[in-house]
Chains A and B, each alone.
Chain A
Amino acid sequence: MTRNIAPVRVTTSLPFRPKLAGILFWTLCLLVLSACTRQPWNDPYPGNDARANTLYSSFSLRPKHLDPAQAYSSNEYTIIAQIYEPPLQYHYLKRPYTLIPATTTELPEPVYYDAKGKRLKANVPDKRIAYSVYDIHIRKGIRYQPHPALAVDGEGRALYRDLDGAALDLMGIRTLYDFPETGSREVTADDYVYEIKRLASPDVLSPIGGLMGEYIVGLSDLGERLRKAKAENKGFLDLRDYPLEGVEVVDRYTFRVKVNGKYPQLRYWLAMPFFAPMPYEADRFYHQKGMAERNLTLDWYPVGTGPFMLTENDPNRRMTLVRNPNFHGETYPGSGESGDEAAGLLRDAGKSLPLLDRVVFSLEKETIPYWNKFLQGYYDASGISSDSFDQAIQFGSSGEINLTPALKAKGIKLNTAVDASIFYMGFNMMDADIGGYSEDRRRLRQAISIAMDYEEFISIFANGRGVAAQGPIPPGIFGYRAGKAGINPYVYNWSNGRPQRKSIDDARRLLREAGYEHGIDTRTGKPLVLHLDITATGPDDKARLEWFRKQLQKLEIQLVIRNTDYNRFQEKMRTGNAQIFMWGWNADYPDPENFLFLLYGPNGKVKSHGENAANYDSPEFNRLFDRVKTMANGTERQRLIDQMVDVARRDSPWIWGMHPKSFGLHHAWEHNGKPNLMANNTLKYIRIDPDERARLRAEWNRPILWPLFGLLGLLALFLLPAFLEHRRREYRNGLTAGRDG
């Protein structure tokens, strides 16, 4: 018997249904309203910034230091070089790189004295010079940016003095910008002297404190006195109370620097932020109790005189520079090198700097998002990472570099420049197997130098972004020779108007002459096994290491890769246990001394913890370096440099490696971009066209909604069978349900 059972429908109240409908309705309204605004949806910046005269850039790692006495990395200089003004600067457009006054009235010229204090002529031999004295005249009327450290009351007393944590809490101070009052004052010579003293301060630990201690008279001694004073007194060290023999104030706008012997490179250092003026009030202000606990330090909140000042400092997110209202005024240069006018680089000649109102640096840790945002117009310039190289660059039939059509269509411009840097492969000259100065060791190293095909390396691993090095000095630095005269004759021949790497047969011949025919030591009969010490951690490194092995396989030499962590690698280098290694150097200043000293014997890493990582120590090279390092650029200096480079090439302590080439992309609305590898204060010259940028951003970033509805439809399609099954179950009768289980 069958009983008819009425379908049972158990319903539940679903109060969320109307709410859900409401949410959907309002979301739709929001979407429609958003679509009506002119600002693209994917614009990462606030809407009212769209037409602001603001340059957008990024940083991937927060800068460690913004204190001019401590900062030494390129990412730190990107920020502080716009804020602090050292006495000198590099001309933005002229090449070769030329020093010009920044805050001084003229370039300082040294006056030489002998040990008895007698003034000498400029052309006396170096060994007679005991001291060089530089009188540096600063311009009148230069004022600091508004800063609470300089705020004073009606009687000229500092407003924010003798504070502590409780007082700061009471005032609600969490950042520097919470101080209600700011002040300013004129820069005086005392401020420059104060900053030079800071280079020796144990509170600061300046990276160039040791180096400057060798040259600036009395700086090392000051460091010792300050260390003792600090040990006795944990409080604020007022550096004004500690005289420095080699640096003195002559008058309100002049200070004098006395250096040991002749040191013409001092002028280059005077173009770096290490020598920017520092008001003692700022140092004192930041040393008050409770400041460091709130990250209120000179290392994070600069006080400068430059074209910009830091008005937002969140190194975890964003750093913003704004035009300094107290900037003393400077104009865009009216001359440059040939071709600058045609390139439109002189259109702003005579205009007041800076040309930008604001610069925003946003945290961007990964290259892919950065690249995408650059293409969308949200960053004004970009480098080219290996991930995006193929999207940006294509090589023509004769190897010329071109932008891809997609980038050309966006009006993007490409700037390239060979960096004032060198990445080389070094031989430890103290090593028993590969080092030494005998003829057979020279030939062994020359043979390996030929086999290590850096043209191929640059092509495969650097996307062609580099120039094979012929010696230690990069292009653009005095002493570098281009063309046939500049090739390394131990590795290259001059053929068809270009350097041609010698054949592998030449390398084998050298190897045979060195006593290692077919990679076998003819004296012992054992195969030659060499070791490359390296820190390779990335996934791309495997191919690179394999490439190194293959290069030496051409000579039947076995290369063992000793991959190690950074710390152990450094330790090996310090103790001389590395055999072959990779190393690099970026120029501090455009002088050949800054590269040749990397091969100067007394700078050996093992002997004296210097920068001569190969521990190369050639008496002939050393003798020439001692002469060259203080000479003025000229024919004689070039002749001696040629001799030095030839000595080094013959000894081959390095496989000279490559000078990297930087590729910079700039949107059409960004103007006046010219690579300047020495100057860091270049943002003041950049001009943008914000209206054009806003127009193109809007055009490039129109939201596309239809795929979103497609996705929703797809989701609904997935849910439909579930809904139908749900309905079927809800409305089925009991017997059916029983059969279904």
Chain B
Amino acid sequence: MFAYILRRTLYAIPILIGVNLITFVLFFVVNTPDDMARMHLGMKRVTPEAITQWKVEHGYDKPLLINDAATGLDKLTDTVFFEKSVRLFVFDFGSSDDGRSIGEDIRQRMWPSLAIALPVFLVGLLVTITVALMIVFLHATYIDLLAVVTLVVLMSISGLFYIIGGQFLFGKVLHLVPVSGYDGGFNAIKFVILPVLIGVVSGIGSGGRWYRTIFLEEMGKDYVRTARAKGIGERIVLFRHVLKNAMIPILTGVVVVIPTLFMGSLIMESFFAVPGLGSYTIDAIHAQDFAVVRAMVFLGSMLYVLGLLLTDLSYTFVDPRVRLS
């Protein structure tokens, strides 16, 4: 297994370089260093000298990808791409273009993101699987039909509607929770309840349908018929046998997102004024802050690669037949 992990880790390096290169090219197709300087220096009274100085100060005064004026290896290394990218691989994210430490910002912002994403993930998974199992338990009844229709309705509603509706109902009309905001420590609880509730409810529709399909497929298999023939109760059949055997497709969809929980949710954090990582990237794109965009894309792709690796590893735990080699 160690060899497998090592191999996958090595595979990740060219992937991350590629992602970094694509991000770099896409960003600089849209923005030039001059544009970035103007955006950061403001709208008023920006002089060409100030723009030149800004580029020098922030290391954007060099050629982007290839330095024709340099010789040897410097042609590639004395460039904006190399200087801005190579430090990422040792997790030195540097400073944003407005001078803040990106690493420090990420460390601060990931906790509020996790405070919402983790409960949404865990409670959502529990609720969705439970709902799906219940529906499967009642398969081919009018309740099944009603439940499927309800799930389709739930998944058809925009996420924004859940958020605004939830804020309106629970925050504005019923006065049960703050409409938005965030605080540290235990004070965070009252701010987190509503986003978590909304996150869970909005995920039931799609998640419920997906798990229902998986469970129904398992329900038609021989071992289920055998278990029933032995007189085992339906709950035991579902929770002990079907659920266990459906773990591979569940893990495929679930484990991969665990590392990316750090990255937060853009809309949810924006509407609930949660200072997480979800809005960090979008804010940086709007501000044309390449340093933050690059760091967040790098981090996101790295976490995704990690998620895929964890998914593969998790298969070995739930299915002994799986061997990683």
User: A residues within 8 Å of B by Cβ?
Assistant: 8, 10-12, 40-44, 46, 61-62, 64-65, 72-73, 202-203, 205, 207-211, 227, 292-295, 297, 299-300, 314, 316-317, 362-366, 368-370, 372-373, 375-376, 378, 565, 567, 570-571, 588, 609, 611, 701-705, 707-708, 721-722, 725-726, 729-730
Contacts and interface: CB of A to CB of B under 8 A. Distances in A.
A703 B171 CA distance: 9
17 contacts: A41-B176, A42-B179, A64-B40, A65-B98, A72-B44, A205-B41, A208-B45, A210-B49, A364-B273, A372-B167, A373-B180, A375-B172, A567-B32, A567-B288, A704-B175, A705-B176, A729-B137
Interface string B90-111: 0000010011110111001100
A44 B191 contact: yes
Q: Which 4 A-B pairs have the closest CB atoms?
A: A10-B233, A316-B275, A210-B47, A369-B180
B174 A707 contact: yes
B190 interface: yes
Contact of B45 (A64, A207, A702, A729): A207
A314 B187 CA distance: 16
Nearest to B38: A570
A567 B31 contact: yes
Contact of A293 (B41, B104, B236, B283): B104
Contact of A43 (B49, B104, B178): B178
Interface string B233-248: 1111000000000000
Given A366-B271, A376-B179, A8 B187 contact: no
A430 B4 CA distance: 66
Contacts, number: 170
Nearest to A206: B50
A72 B190 CA distance: 37
B41 A207 contact: yes
Contacts of A704: 173-176
Interface string B128-161: 0000001001100101000000000000000000
Contacts of B48: 609
B44 A611 contact: yes
A737 to B, nearest CB: 8
B176 A11 contact: no
Contacts of A295: 100-101, 104-105
A46 B175 contact: no
B14 interface: no
B137 A726 contact: yes
B271 to A, nearest CB: 5
B298 interface: no
B190 to A, nearest CB: 7
Nearest to B267: A366
B189 to A, nearest CB: 10
B231 interface: yes
Interface residues of B, number: 69
Contacts of B171: 42, 369, 372
Contact of B101 (A294, A363, A611): A294
Contacts of B182: 317, 363
Contact of B176 (A42, A72, A300): A42
Q: Which of A205, A293, A314, A362 has the most CB of B within 10 A?
A: A205
Contacts of A227: 53
B181 A316 contact: no
Q: Which of B45, B54, B231 has the most CB of A within 10 A?
A: B45
B322 interface: no
A701 B175 contact: yes
B198 to A, nearest CB: 13
B270 interface: yes
A263 to B, nearest CB: 15
A725 B141 contact: yes
A565 B288 CA distance: 12
B42 to A, nearest CB: 5
Given A61-B283, A295-B101, A366 B270 contact: yes
B272 A292 contact: no
B99 A299 contact: yes
B172 A372 contact: yes
A293 B44 CA distance: 30
A65 B98 CA distance: 8
B95 A10 contact: no
Given A11-B233, A205-B57, A372-B172, A567 B35 contact: yes
B275 A209 contact: no
A363 B275 contact: yes
Contacts of B272: 369
B181 A730 contact: no
A207 B44 contact: yes
Nearest to B239: A12
Contacts of B38: 570
Nearest to A704: B174
Interface in B103-132: 103-105, 108-109, 112
Contacts of A701: 175
A44 B181 contact: yes
B15 interface: no
B30 interface: yes
Contact of A207 (B50, B57, B167): B50
B62 to A, nearest CB: 16
B275 A317 contact: yes
B174 A708 contact: yes
Nearest to A220: B49
Given A44-B181, A205-B54, A571-B35, 16 more contacts: A40-B175, A202-B56, A207-B44, A207-B45, A207-B50, A211-B45, A292-B101, A314-B108, A316-B109, A375-B172, A570-B35, A609-B47, A704-B175, A704-B176, A708-B176, A730-B234
B137 to A, nearest CB: 7
Contact of B180 (A40, A294, A364, A570): A364
Nearest to B173: A704
A701 B270 CA distance: 24
B172 A376 contact: yes
B215 to A, nearest CB: 15
Q: Which of A227, A365, A588 has the most CB of B within 10 A?
A: A365
A365 to B, nearest CB: 5
B133 to A, nearest CB: 11
A49 to B, nearest CB: 11
A207 B288 CA distance: 18
B302 interface: no
Contacts of B108: 314, 316
B311 interface: no
Contacts of B40: 64
A572 to B, nearest CB: 13
A314 B275 contact: yes
B177 A41 contact: yes
Contacts of A73: 42
Contacts of B287: 64
A513 B108 CA distance: 66
A588 B45 CA distance: 11
A502 B164 CA distance: 45
B54 A729 contact: no
Contacts of B143: 721-722, 725
B176 A10 contact: no
A44 B178 contact: yes
B164 A294 contact: no
